[in-house]
Structure 1
């Protein structure tokens, strides 16, 4: 069982303006309210671990039109909102049933540290294996990141059930033979995962 983190196990805000609102920071009126996270041109490089935290926060400060990098850091921190209901129990149930559980996440070091050390996201710690883009130097939907996961886990694509909120990531995984399913992040995710699993459990001993 392989899960994306944001939009599957953890509720995130997909918009910079929403992250700023939660952080209590007012963006300039000229900033487009519906700007998605990936619209920041430097964000993918940061999530591949290619630029430093200092460079990232400086570029984010300028992108958002903020006065300081501290404000940019606060906005970025508030992308992570809360766990979806019952995700920890779901992961522990899968572990107890003998399934291998893992995540494959486009993320970055500050968010990874928050998920690992803050105590706010116990489902993340309950996973048997954790794979992060900034540590791998790769991003979904690149096929290489899925292939690296297969190699590290010692599995082939048809042995993996994969859940992600991105259609592009799901289609990329399917192209490699994964049992991949798109999760709607606007709804509770655990019932969606369980419904999808009914169509794949039993097809592979390694799922």
Structure 2
């Protein structure tokens, strides 16, 4: 049965904390550096926003290293960045199950899929090369947009890429501020609390069968 024009036509997912594990790459980076996670976390996250907005790989890892009293440059920075991107780009198991189900619906042409993620260019490359991203029609990353959630420009970019109004978009993100910004544009935005709850939301929206 054809859905009405006001029904959800596309599902938009965040990556970190939604499709991938919430702890991200911090534990792996800490292990690679031989340091406690609690010590690495603040150094990792401090300069991250600038990196997600398109900052240089070398600048980001140099800043992380300076905060830790380490010299993270050159090949060492490149190795850590590859580890970081691959960890963020790996699907969490329950998210993978949900995505497989939604992808089957997309394959029938019943819904379209998109990613909207605050993420650096290296993660964008890993995602585009991944098998799991193949069903996605649009992959939008803050580093490439030079703008990040919750700023309005990134939401407008999704609407433009899909040529859909906000009320036809379902969106899942793990940060309340990003969800509220999407709702302000009329998106059917939901705070991600787990794949099971997200599936229930997609059933209520008519995207998945109960």
TM over 0.5: yes
**Which structure 2 residues correspond to residues 65-144 of structure 1 after superposition, within 5 A?**
65-69=69-73, 70-79=75-84, 80=87, 82-85=90-93, 86-97=97-108, 98-117=110-129, 119=130, 122-144=131-153
Kindly indicate which of the two structures has a greater share of residues assigned to helix. Answer: 2
Q: Does the 8 Å contact 1:8/1:183 carry over to 2?
A: yes
Deviation at 1:181, TM superposition (A): 0.7
Match of 1:13 in 2: 23
Please, what TM-score do these two structures have when normalized by structure 2? 0.77
Q: Once superposed, what is the RMSD of the aligned Cα atoms?
A: 2.6
Deviation at 1:11, TM superposition (A): 2.0
Q: Distance in 2 between matches of 1:125 and 1:21?
A: 31
Match of 2:7 in 1: none
**Which structure 2 residues correspond to residues 1-207 of structure 1 after superposition, within 5 A?**
1-14=11-24, 16=26, 18-22=27-31, 24-27=32-35, 32=39, 35=42, 37=44, 39-40=45-46, 42-49=47-54, 51-69=55-73, 70-79=75-84, 80=87, 82-85=90-93, 86-97=97-108, 98-117=110-129, 119=130, 122-184=131-193, 187=194, 189=195, 191-201=196-206
Deviation at 1:88, TM superposition (A): 4.3
Between the two proteins, the alignment pairs up a number of residues equal to 189
Deviation at 1:73, TM superposition (A): 4.3
Q: Distance in 1 between matches of 2:41 and 2:62?
A: 21
In the alignment, structure 1 segments of 5+ residues that lack a partner are 203-207
Q: Distance in 2 between matches of 1:57 and 1:21?
A: 13
